[in-house]
Chains A and B, each alone.
Chain A
């Protein structure tokens, strides 16, 4: 999962002044209003919430102070995969599911397929959608139905080592063509150094970078599922990376391992195509490369384009079996999108905001980080956030798709054919799986 490693709140150097600026800005925006306004529970209720993001308990405590008749039990049942496994098992078993759960954007369609998510549409104020960045709202809604409150997001961009780039005479690439040329240059000038990490070991990374190129592998309509995993876009993308892998210009080190981070820290790998939560993760994991990192926008496939995609990010969803959906919706809305809490999330755990008001907040986005040589990195990603194409759809069994992508990419990198062939194998396997699961596949 994309945030498996985003453990205990890696901290960017955040000065007291920045914090106060942020606090002042909060006071200055009274227009935002709370989602929970008007909704009040009548009787005392007890809710359970599952999430793995650090500091969730703090936010829940404040919610309980404001809503004394609601008692919330917070449980962390694991990050990413184990969290979803337990959620699926509880839904299948029919007992033990929480009322509210953290739900990443790429898991929503899977849990909708299990009929595990409550429709928040009638429970939230109708104008609430206007507050969120368009694609995040599109990702959680289907017509008037809403299956989660957007919480944080991961518009993609590029982090790179300024010092390594300088020593090879490189500068942040605007297009993928430039990206490839620079990678080849670096490999020729300094063999053993890698321009970037090819994230073949993470299905989320594969999908997100492909999505930017226009890849739209799934289209679900009722029980009709269109599957186009191995289309021309995927093949072009595969050939693009194959060339760089063959030239040993990019590293294929598995993501999230200690070695993966060590390579960044000692300059063996010079850049990372990552998401808006990446800057905090990197700054929290480096020891020697402080001040040498910079952020840049996502390279484009066509010069002059402004197309981005999203990697990771979560929502707060209400589970269908919940006996107190109204109160659960209040809780989900508060935790994910209360303006003060959204600011809190950004400043303590570095969740990248999904609310327009926060993204255009100069104080919050303009924070300069010493780790990034004084660059206001959030600005880079805030700009990318507006360029995310909202039309990408995940499979109703995305975990399984990711697992197949990872397996077949591993096989391809291990010498079983080319990366392009991996897409053919995944296509075949997923079509067979979808048919087996009862979908009409076209």
Chain B
């Protein structure tokens, strides 16, 4: 940091003198340096390393060989990988709409002039996002617990059929619920910020035109933050496809439902650290990256075409 500060001072001092052009051009990059170091060290280098891994193959018998794209050829027809992707698409279909709808609803309510204690609610909704995923999952794992969890105990006290949260048809909603709880507040803050940026005079215009708060929210505010909504949808899709910590931690509680290839990331983890197939695991990870890119791109293409129309 000291170097950078010194360099920046130097830039400032010389900017009036000769050769200031070079320094002026260089200055932004010097300011970017801290970011670039971290970016290269923790993203670019590991990516190159992983890609290098993915074109080799180390086996228990026979050592290491260069195999080119063999690992990818195998990955692209791997039913376990695509099964995981399918699981996540189903998961996304139920989780993302619920989460974003709630986020939008709360953002609109907080943005309206109807509530007291605005900042209190804003923080309250946001707090779950500050809880680490591991803690959140352990917490919900307890709440879901079939014999000593509160949900089960309440059901037993009321003598009603308890919900089994760890069944083949309930496990996805159970995990989706955790994800909604965790990330709803984060999206709400994004929406809230976008809503705050809408000029006040539009509301005055609405009032003049005779629109109530509700009509104003639906017909004025909502269309204006559509680009923001699109961004959160893309983020959510990308985040969903990376799903790992929740199923990984619930695995111990629901082993009979969650397999070691439940999501593509979980599969890559198992391949690397249980089956010792580091190379194949790297190929699976890159394939997941490709799938994520394609899905995000297709989504953007569809939505931009519609908005162009």
Contacts and interface: CB of A to CB of B under 8 A. Distances in A.
Nearest to A404: B260
Interface in A388-442: 396-397, 399-400, 403, 406-407, 409-411, 413-415, 433, 436-439
Contact of A256 (B252, B256, B261): B252
Interface stretch (A231-239, A258-266, A290-298): A258-266
B275 A403 contact: yes
Given A114-B60, A406-B260, A410-B257, A259 B146 contact: yes
Contacts of A65: none
B148 A414 contact: no
Interface string A54-72: 0000000000000000000
Contact of B276 (A88, A406, A414, A439): A88
A259 B260 contact: no
Given A201-B255, A407-B261, A410-B259, A223 B276 contact: no
A439 B256 contact: no
Contacts of A413: 256
Interface in A84-104: 85, 88, 92
A407 B59 contact: no
B291 to A, nearest CB: 22
Contacts of B255: 201, 254-255, 406, 410
Interface in A150-203: 200-201
Nearest to A412: B256
B59 A254 contact: no
A252 interface: yes
Q: Which of the four size classes fits the interface of chain A?
A: 35 or more
Contacts, number: 77
A262 B147 contact: yes
A433 B277 CA distance: 10
B146 to A, nearest CB: 5
A144 interface: no
A45 interface: no
Contacts of A268: 147
Chain B CB count within 10 A is highest, among A268, A413, A415, for: A413
A362 interface: no
Contacts of A114: 60
Given A396-B60, A410-B255, 14 more contacts: A85-B273, A258-B148, A259-B147, A259-B148, A262-B147, A263-B147, A397-B276, A400-B275, A403-B270, A403-B275, A406-B260, A410-B258, A414-B257, A415-B168
Interface of A: 81, 85, 88, 92, 113-114, 200-201, 223, 252-259, 262-263, 266, 268, 396-397, 399-400, 403, 406-407, 409-411, 413-415, 433, 436-439
Please give me the 8 A-B residue pairs with the lowest Cβ-Cβ distance, nearest first.
Answer: A438-B61, A438-B62, A201-B255, A254-B255, A438-B59, A437-B60, A407-B259, A400-B275
12 contacts: A81-B274, A201-B256, A254-B253, A257-B145, A266-B147, A399-B274, A403-B274, A403-B275, A409-B256, A410-B256, A437-B59, A439-B61
